[in-house]
Structures are given as structure tokens and as C-alpha cells.
Structure 1
Amino acid sequence: MPSNRWLLLIPPLLGGLLSGVLVYRFAPEAEGDGTDAAIDAFHYKEGNIRLRASITKLITSAITIGSGGSAGKEGPVAQIGGGFGSFLARLFKLNAKDTRIALAVGLGAGMGSIFKAPFGGAIFASEILYLMDFETEVIPPAFIASLVGYLITGYLTGWRHIFFATNLAGMSYKLYEPLTLFFFVLLGVVNGFVGVIYVKVFYQLRDFFKRIETVPDMLKPAIGGLLTGLMGVFFPQVLGSSYGWLQMAINGDFNYLSITVLILLPFLKILSTAFTVASGGSGGTFAPALVIGGSIGASIWLLAKELLPGYDVPVAAYVVVGMMSFFGGVGKVPIATILMVSEMTGEYELFTPSLLTTILCYLITGHYSIYESQVRSRVESPAHGASKIGSLSILYEHLLEENSSILKEVKASQIMIKAPVKLRCTDKVGSAINLTRKYPYRMYPVVDGENRFQGFIKVEDLIFLRGKALNIELAYLPIHRGVAVHPSEELGEVMRKMIEHEVDKVAVVDSENKLLGIITAKEILRHIAFKRQGRRET
């Protein structure tokens, strides 16, 4: 610490200035959080990241973090690792699908290497792309790449964990006591609400910096660096990755971390990270999230110590669980984060408390994610050719945001159509196949002798049957239960059920479950288009 604290203003300012000039001169896509840029490239750019962007990210991130900017290494590593995977895919002339996989594998390998967490890094590569899904094809190659990266990193830099935590082996009985679990629940709840603040503040400041038109983009990181440095003059804990301060909390060393500082640190770190990264500086949001969650965990531990004299659960348990749960919620990677932080600290006794707190934080943060390029699931990803359900989900969210009356005014009876063809349970496979040739659809409603809806049967369950199987009644084949709605149900409820069950067709039935018609995603999209067009014309 310099004798004159005001000198702390200078390094972040100069680092932001140099980083901004390099980024906007050589690779504008290297600004901001690298992880989000890699996710964006996966979904919207066929997995392509310019090699120049990766090299620029490497240099500018080192400048930003090294000069005291409040950012982490994971963002740069994600974009650099993903960019190298993308480069190799182009070098070997792989198709778009394999290029995306190579990008995600490179991302996971980078994370597993830099944080010495090969298992978590591989899962991270698959989980980080979506709010509520996994890219399963990424996992096998990501395990191999992440392990190789970890072995090389360990050989060159040593095998010590990123953080040293108190050995909790044999303390499970204390961690699972009702009072201790209560404080872990409290930690998860607090992390959830602070996580929402983190996301909102980050993107509001990002939008604020973008609206400043009088300042060139390349100078905005310098402004962010100046503001970060100003905060560092009074609270040096916010500068850099803050891992040293986090290690102090894990060790229970509170000489420089008073209760006041611990309470303020999450909010100060949120602001300093937003100033550094959201202004266009180069860095990641993972490390700041660990510091925010860890400091909240330490505060909860101090509260427990105050209320329960003689409380002997180590502070490391709360700090580590706080780290896990906070980023698991705001990054939408609960499984990967639990694994990664366990590997980073070498502590594996905390799975139950970490699951409890991470799930709570994940649920409370809801759709708020620090990575705005994430999509809900594969059905909404352009990488998988956004399906009808994906389009329906996007439209539904848009209508909810604008509080459209269409969702309540329109009833199922208004958009249902008569089923062009329906099959009966007693129909033979042969006759059903003949009907599929005349009416070529992907699935068909099935009813019993009294027209009661039984479910849907897929065309692929019929067309490959041969010989004696043609005389089997449909009742003996796999009939998918399907989703049914009533004529009076609102359009919003119909769309919600279709999205929830990931189906693009539902049956409309009466009170006796008799089939009245069907509603398809295509009909919904068409009806809404006509409705909105009619309103614009009037």
C-alpha cells in the first residue's frame, strides 16, 4: 500500500486508457466480459472468434487486472480458450456445428486450467451457454481438453489449490446442525437478492456508458478506471481480483476486514466491477462474483458468532459456500460452480450446504443473469435452428414484457382448428400408415371409441413397422400422453403449457375429455400476427 493513497488513482486510470486504445484499435469485440462474448459467438456467429480478438483480449486483460481494475481472469480465459478452439476449427475446415463445439471445449479447457478445476471446467463449458439447459455434446471432449490443460498448468505452476481453506474433514455433523443450516439458508437468500442487484447495476451502467456520445469509446474504460481508482483510495479491497482479501476471509483474518468493510464490500465490488468492465474495459465477472459471495458469507458467519456464543463452525465454510452460491445464481451455472469452487479450495465436505444455498440463490435471481447472451434452452438457440417452440417462447416473453392484452383476451376456442385427421385406438397400424401418406404430419391425435382424447402418436412410431406388426391395434403402441387444454383457457396459459412441456401441438378437449380440436404453434403465431396487424391498421 503506497504511503499516499491518492496514488492508487493512477494505475487503474492508465490501465483503462491503454486497454481501451488497444481494444478499439485492434479488436472492438474484445471489450467487456469475454465469457459473454464467447457465448454470443456460440449462438449467433457459428462459433467464430477472430484470433486477433483472442490475442488482444490476452494483452488488454493483463493490463486491466494488473493495473488494479476490478475484474477476473475467467472472462479473458474463456474468450482466449474459445477463440483458440475456433481458430483450430477453421484451420481444419470443420463445419459450423463442430466449430461451436470446439469453441465451447476451448472455453471449458481454459477455465479448468486457470482455476485448476478440470471437472468443473468441463461442466462449465456445457452449462454456461444456457439459462436452464446443457450442451451435452460438449461434455466428452471438454473433459479431455480440460484435463490436459489442467495437467500442463499444474506441471508449470504447481499443484496447489487457488485458495487454501481450513480442513473441514470430519466436521459434517456440525455443518448439518439445524441452526447452521438456517444460516446457510439465510446466506442463499441474501446472495439471491444481492445477485439481482449485481446484474441490474452492471447492465444499467453498461447502458449508461454506451449513451455517452461525447466521449470516444476508447476513452470510456479510462473513466471507469478512474472511478475504480477513486473507490480504491478509500477501500483498497475493491482493486484487482481481490483474491488476497478473499483468502484473508477464508483464513479468518479480519485485521483489514472489519464488519463495516465486509458489509460494504459486496456493493463496492459490484460498483467497481461495473465501472471497470461495463465501461468497456477487458476482464471477467466470475472473480468479482466470488468475492461478493464470499464476503457475504463471512458477514453471515460473524452474525452467527454474535448470536451463538461458542459457535465453532469455521468461517471458511461460509466463505466457500457463499462463493459457490452467488456465482451459481448470477451465472446460471449452479452445478459447474459447486464443482469448480470445491476443486479451487480442495474442500468437498460442503456439498449439502452448497446445494441448499446455490439452489436458493439460483431461484431468487430467476431470469437475471450476468451473461446476457445466454438463451433459455437449446430450443431457443440459433445454434440449433430455433424451433417453433423456441420462437413461441421468445414471443411469449416479449408479450409478457409489454403486458399485451392478447394473452388474456384470446381464448383457446378462438385459435383451435379441427384436427385434419385423428386415429382411433382400435385402428390397425396398416390403415394408420395409409392415412399418414394421405395426411403427412409429424404426429396425430389418438381417441377412443367415444372420441375421448388419449394422446398423440408420432409418425416414426408407425412407418418403420412391417409384416405382422401392420395388424396390431394402435392401443398397443407407445401413445404419448400429450398436453390438453380446455376451450375457455386463455392464450397465455396455452402458450405457457406448450413452452413448459416443449410441445408444438396441444389438444383442446371438453369437460368429458372429448377431442374438440387442436392448437399448433403455427396457428398461434399466425393468429397473433393477424391480431397485431389489425390493431396497427386501426
Structure 2
Amino acid sequence: MFLDNFYRKIGFYIIKWLIINLLLGFLGAVLVLALKKGIFYLNQFFYNKYYIAPLIGSVIIAIIIYYLDFRARGLGTDIYIRYTNNKYPLKSPFRLLISKFLATSTTLGLMGIGGLVGPLLLIGSSMAIVIDKVFNYFKVKLFNSQLDYRVLSVCGAAATLGPLLGAPLGGGIFASEILYKSSLDYNDLFPAILGSSFGYYFYHAFLPMNSLNIDLALPEATLKEIFLLILVAIISGIIGQSFISIFEAIDDYFSRLRIKSFLKPIITGVIVLMIMKLLKVDSFIDIGDINQLVFSPLREGRMIILIIVKILLAMVIIGGGCSAAIVDTALISGALTGNLLYYIFPNIPLSILVIIGLSATLASIANIPLATMIIVSEIFNLNLSLPVIIGSIIGYLIGRPKAVFKYIGEE
């Protein structure tokens, strides 16, 4: 009798989360595709044609924040962490979904800088809560406990990260691991991997070409190089912590400004317009073009300055209340660090330095060592190589005291 009851519960659990994740994966893939298409068309028809597009974008974002939902501003990751960890229930999820979607597409489409990881965490999670509301409307009660709502939220976030990153396993781990500083909860980890995998599958059914995956065959590191790799990982981890300090300083500056919150994006738009147009930053690198840093050392000083300026502008955009992600910027920062360290360690292959640099920087900034290992391995088609492991672990250990995301749980 006991075993019958046990297997009945397990069977219901498996079927329930299979069906839910199938639905979330499909909708997550549609959201990612729609967001990317929206950004592309805004870039093509407005950003590349009109000089003041960043200023127009900042005004639109201010309107969204003021009239639709103030939660649409900033990273999105902190809100996801807070309510998924049951610090408070998510209210008006549909309004948040729409406003965050519009704010993100406007930020990246009209301001030209930023990333999608953080906003999509919140968009996907909000989508999952909206689905629960729809089920409740039709009197279908599938989620009865706080744990169910937590798992649902994580699965929704994972369903958008898998297709975005081209990392079906890493997307699920990221959505779960980001919630805590030093642990993983299996209750949401495995359903999240399922949601991420379904999202990845549906996205590539719609759009077979994967923009992020880069085929990279890393050479084997010698024993002598391993000690140098550890040193490179330490340097990259420390740079990751410096990255956090700069971002916090920018964020604190905007927080202390004694003006209405919806006016801050407009100030940001003016700053971005002046700097980007003066230095022509808009023509350079995005996460999809990270292979430029992997395969050839940067030799032109202006090119290096442009990347650094673009990284700083991404921080200003987020600190000023526009909707973008810091994770994508961290990957670029780490890749740039590894690329520049090639001039100090020319005997180590450039690809190894870039991989260890971005792994250590991301793990240091976001406190996600396992997700970093898997995501970097999936993006670069690696077999969990030693540089990825060294970079992720050392970066995490250096960054443990301070992560860029607030509200991460302690256990």
C-alpha cells in the first residue's frame, strides 16, 4: 500500500512537471524569439537611422516605468531572486511581463547596449506565474504549496535562458543556482533543467541557427601552464570583484539622485547619446561576437578602449533604470581580460586565456560556479575542460563575499 501510494505521487509529479515544462518551454522560446526580433527591428529602422534614438528610447522607458510598472527598471534578477525565495509574492505578473518585455526591447533596440539574461529571468518567471493564474481562472489547481510556486518560477526563468544562451543544461542550473550563495535545491534544479531543455528545443525548431555556440578546440594545458592558469583565474576573479565595485558605485550614484525614478532613464539616455556618438561605440562588440576576442589578440588601443567604454555604459544604463543584464557584460569583461593577459602570458594559447578569464569573471560576479562551468562548456562546445573548471572555482571562491545580485540566499 505504501509503495503504491509513493509511486502514484511520483507518477503524478513527473507527468505534471513534464506537461508544465513543455508548455513553458514553448512559450519561453516564443518570448525569446519575439524579444530578439523586436530588438532587431528597432535597431534596423530607428537606432541605425536616427541620431537621437538613445534619447527617444530613454523617454519611452521612463513612460513605461511611470505608467506601467516601476519594476520594469534595472536588472530584473534581484526581483526574481526575492520573490522566488518567497520573500514576497509576485503581484500583477502579467503587467510585469509586458512592461519588462517592452522596457528591455526598447533599451537594447534604441540604446544599443546591454544584455538579456537578467530581464529574461524575470520575464520567464512572470510568464510562469501568469500561466498559474490562467489555470486558476479555469479552476484547474495544479500548484498547492509554496514549493510548487518556487519550482514554477524557476522553470519559467529556465525556459527562456536555455534558448537564449544555447545551453539547455546550463540555463536550468543558472536559474536555480543564482538563488543561493552556496547551495543547490534539487526540488527546483531538475524541473528547471527540463524547462530549459524544452525551451532550447522549441527555439531551435523555430530558428535552427544558433548565434552563440562557438566551436572551440582547446589544446591540453601542460603542468607548467596549470600554475599560470591558476594565476590568470585569480587575476580575473579580482577584476570581477572590481567590476562589482564599479557597478555598485554607479548604482549608488543614481540611487542618491533626488529626482523622480522615471526621470533617471532620461539622464541615462543623454549620457549614452553623447558618449556613444562621440566615440562611435555602437559599431563594436556584443556577446554574439565574443569570438572576436577568442581567436585574435586585440592590438589596436582604440578598440580596447571602445570595449571598456561599452562595458561601463552597460553599467550606467542598468544603474540609471533602463532594462538590461549584467551577466552578458561580465562575459565580455572576462573575455577581454583573458585577451589582454595574452600579452603577459604569450606562451599560453589565447583561447585558453579567454575561456579561463570569462569563466572566472562570471563565477566571481554572479556566484554561480556550476552554472558557469556548464554554460561556458555548452557555448564553446567543450568537454568540461580544465581551464573552465579552474576559472569557475577560483572565481567563485574570490567572489563569494560579494555578488553583483542582492538578496541571494545564504543556504
Bucket of the pairwise TM-score, normalised by the shorter protein: 0.7 to 0.9
The whole-number CA distance in structure 1 between the counterparts of 2:209 and 2:102 is 25
Q: Where does residue 176 of structure 2 map in the other structure?
A: 126
- Judged with a 3 Å threshold, the aligned counterparts in structure 2 of structure 1 residues 352 and 236 are, in CA distance, closer, same or farther, namely farther
1:186 matched to 2:215? The reply is no
- The alpha carbon displacement at 1:33 in A equals 0.4
1:293 matched to 2:334? The reply is yes
Q: Is the 8 A contact 1:238 1:265 kept in 2?
A: no
Q: Where does residue 195 of structure 1 map in the other structure?
A: 240
Q: Where does residue 484 of structure 1 map in the other structure?
A: none
Which of 358, 362, 366 aligns to 1:323? It is 358
Which of 395, 399, 404 aligns to 1:361? It is 395
Q: Is the 8 A contact 1:73 1:283 kept in 2?
A: yes
Cα offsets for 1:473-526 (capped at 9, x unmatched) = xxxxxxxxxxxxxxxxxxxxxxxxxxxxxxxxxxxxxxxxxxxxxxxxxxxxxx
Which of 256, 259, 266 aligns to 1:211? It is 256
The whole-number CA distance in structure 1 between the counterparts of 2:326 and 2:67 is 23
The gaps in structure 1 that reach 5 residues or longer are 1-6, 378-538
The whole-number CA distance in structure 2 between the counterparts of 1:137 and 1:230 is 48
1:373 matched to 2:410? The reply is no
Deviates more, 1:79-88 or 1:316-325: 316-325
Who wins on radius of gyration, i.e. which is larger? 1
- Judged with a 3 Å threshold, the aligned counterparts in structure 2 of structure 1 residues 57 and 81 are, in CA distance, closer, same or farther, namely same
- The alpha carbon displacement at 1:120 in A equals 0.4
- Judged with a 3 Å threshold, the aligned counterparts in structure 2 of structure 1 residues 328 and 301 are, in CA distance, closer, same or farther, namely same
Which of 312, 320, 345 aligns to 1:304? It is 345
Describe the SS at the equivalent of 1:134. Answer: coil
- The alpha carbon displacement at 1:202 in A equals 1.6
Cα offsets for 1:271-320 (capped at 9, x unmatched) = 21221011110111111111101110111123322xx4xx6x2x233223
Which of 163, 170, 179 aligns to 1:113? It is 163
Give the TM-score normalised by the residue count of structure 2: 0.79
Cα offsets for 1:115-170 (capped at 9, x unmatched) = 111100111122010111112210221122111111110111114350424433xx
- The alpha carbon displacement at 1:250 in A equals 2.0
Deviates more, 1:127-136 or 1:67-76: 67-76
Which of 62, 69, 76 aligns to 2:105? It is 62
- The alpha carbon displacement at 1:182 in A equals 3.6
Q: Where does residue 20 of structure 1 map in the other structure?
A: 62
Which of 192, 195, 198 aligns to 1:148? It is 198
Q: Where does residue 385 of structure 2 map in the other structure?
A: 351
- The alpha carbon displacement at 1:229 in A equals 3.5
- Judged with a 3 Å threshold, the aligned counterparts in structure 2 of structure 1 residues 160 and 270 are, in CA distance, closer, same or farther, namely closer
The whole-number CA distance in structure 1 between the counterparts of 2:225 and 2:166 is 29
CA-based RMSD: 2.8
Q: Is the 8 A contact 2:216 2:381 kept in 1?
A: no
Q: Is the 8 A contact 1:10 1:226 kept in 2?
A: no
- Judged with a 3 Å threshold, the aligned counterparts in structure 2 of structure 1 residues 149 and 357 are, in CA distance, closer, same or farther, namely same
- Judged with a 3 Å threshold, the aligned counterparts in structure 2 of structure 1 residues 111 and 48 are, in CA distance, closer, same or farther, namely farther
- Judged with a 3 Å threshold, the aligned counterparts in structure 2 of structure 1 residues 110 and 360 are, in CA distance, closer, same or farther, namely same
- The alpha carbon displacement at 1:102 in A equals 0.5
- The alpha carbon displacement at 1:69 in A equals 4.3
Question: Larger % of helix: which?
Answer: 2
- The alpha carbon displacement at 1:96 in A equals 2.9
Question: Larger % of strand: which?
Answer: 1
Give the TM-score normalised by the residue count of structure 1: 0.62
- The alpha carbon displacement at 1:265 in A equals 6.0
1:126-525 equivalences in 2 (<5 Å): 126-160=176-210, 162-168=212-218, 171-172=219-220, 176-213=221-258, 215-233=259-277, 235-237=279-281, 242-243=286-287, 245-252=289-296, 254=298, 258-259=300-301, 261-262=303-304, 264=305, 267-305=308-346, 308=347, 313=349, 315-348=350-383, 351-377=385-411
- The alpha carbon displacement at 1:236 in A equals 4.4
Q: Is the 8 A contact 2:284 2:306 kept in 1?
A: no
Q: Where does residue 76 of structure 1 map in the other structure?
A: 119
The gaps in structure 2 that reach 5 residues or longer are 1-48, 137-142
- Judged with a 3 Å threshold, the aligned counterparts in structure 2 of structure 1 residues 283 and 267 are, in CA distance, closer, same or farther, namely same
The whole-number CA distance in structure 1 between the counterparts of 2:401 and 2:378 is 27
The whole-number CA distance in structure 1 between the counterparts of 2:283 and 2:316 is 11
The whole-number CA distance in structure 1 between the counterparts of 2:176 and 2:165 is 17
Q: Is the 8 A contact 1:46 1:100 kept in 2?
A: no
